[in-house]
Structure 1
Amino acid sequence: MSREDNKLLVRRFIDAYNARNMELFDELVAPDYIDHTHQQEGRESFKTLFKIAFNGFPDWHEDIVDMIAEGDKVWVCVKATGTHTGEWNLYGVSLPPTGKTVTMMMIFIWRIANGQLVEGWEVDSEVNFLKTIGVLEYTEKGKNIFPDG
């Protein structure tokens, strides 16, 4: 596939989860997909992560900010927003809804083979996200350094 084809595949994938079209995952994600960030393998495990996220943040949406393709990989930067209005499971701990809206910048790197996502990595600004919903709190020193945080 060309770099433009790979970028189109990633756009289709992001559009699919923004639309909650989990059935399209079967076409776009390989059955043996490897998620390096969450240390999981398999398309069904990958789909489960999205179902958990959509339960906690039903209005979760990602807008593409930038995208780069090289060889069989696509790097995409997204700005994600969502409101924590549902129960959300984080590392086995159930977090009740806070009603807080979060914004997060995320970078995904996907490797593509045979027209499907086969491998992925994620880097994001999780600290502010977790702070917004009350999972983390700055120490006094942190509050002095980041007074608006």
Structure 2
Amino acid sequence: MSTEVNRAIVRRFIYAYNTRNLDLFNELVAPGYVDHTHGKKGIEEFRKLFELAFVAFPDWHEEIVDMIAEEDKVWVRVEATGTQTGEWKYMGGSLSPTGNKITMTMVFIWRIAGGKLAEGWEVDSDSDFLNKLGLMDYTEKGKEMFSGE
């Protein structure tokens, strides 16, 4: 596949995510998909992550900022926003709705094979995400160091 075709696949996947169109998963994600970030294997486990996210963050939206494609890989940087108005089930626990609005930058790397997402990696700051949800706070020293001044 050309890099332009691979870029189009990723754009379509993010569109499917933003429009909550999980029917497109079968078309865009390989059955043996490997999610290296969350340790999930197979399309159903990957799909379940999105179903849980849609409940917790029904307004979640990802805007593509940058995209780079080379050979069978596509890197995409997105600005993501969402409000946690539903229960968030994650890593064996759950969090009642906080009402917190989150804005964060995320980078995804996908390997494309046979016209579908075959492997994926996510690069973001879990600590920043958890901090914005109100689950984690910086220490006094951390607040001092990262105050932005």
Normalised-by-shorter TM-score class? over 0.9
Tell me the CA shift for residue 7 of structure 1: 0.1
Partner of 1:12: 12
Q: State the SS of the aligned residue for 2:86.
A: coil
Q: Is the deviation greater in 87-96 or in 139-148?
A: 139-148
Partner of 2:103: 103
Contact conserved, 1:104 with 1:126, CA < 8 A, in 2? no
TM-score where L is the length of structure 1? 0.96
Q: Is the deviation greater in 130-139 or in 20-29?
A: 130-139
Partner of 1:51: 51
| 1:38-57 CA-partner distances (Å, limit 9, x unpaired) | 11100000000011111110
How many residue pairs get aligned? The number is 148
Tell me the CA shift for residue 82 of structure 1: 0.1
TM-score where L is the length of structure 2? 0.96
Unaligned runs of 5+ in 1: none
Tell me the CA shift for residue 90 of structure 1: 2.1
**Matched letter for residue 59 of structure 1:** D
RMSD of aligned residue pairs (Cα, Å)? 1.0
Unaligned runs of 5+ in 2: none
Partner of 1:26: 26
Q: Distance in 1 between matches of 2:57 and 2:127?
A: 17
Q: Distance in 2 between matches of 1:4 and 1:134?
A: 40
Tell me the CA shift for residue 146 of structure 1: 2.5
Partner of 1:122: 122
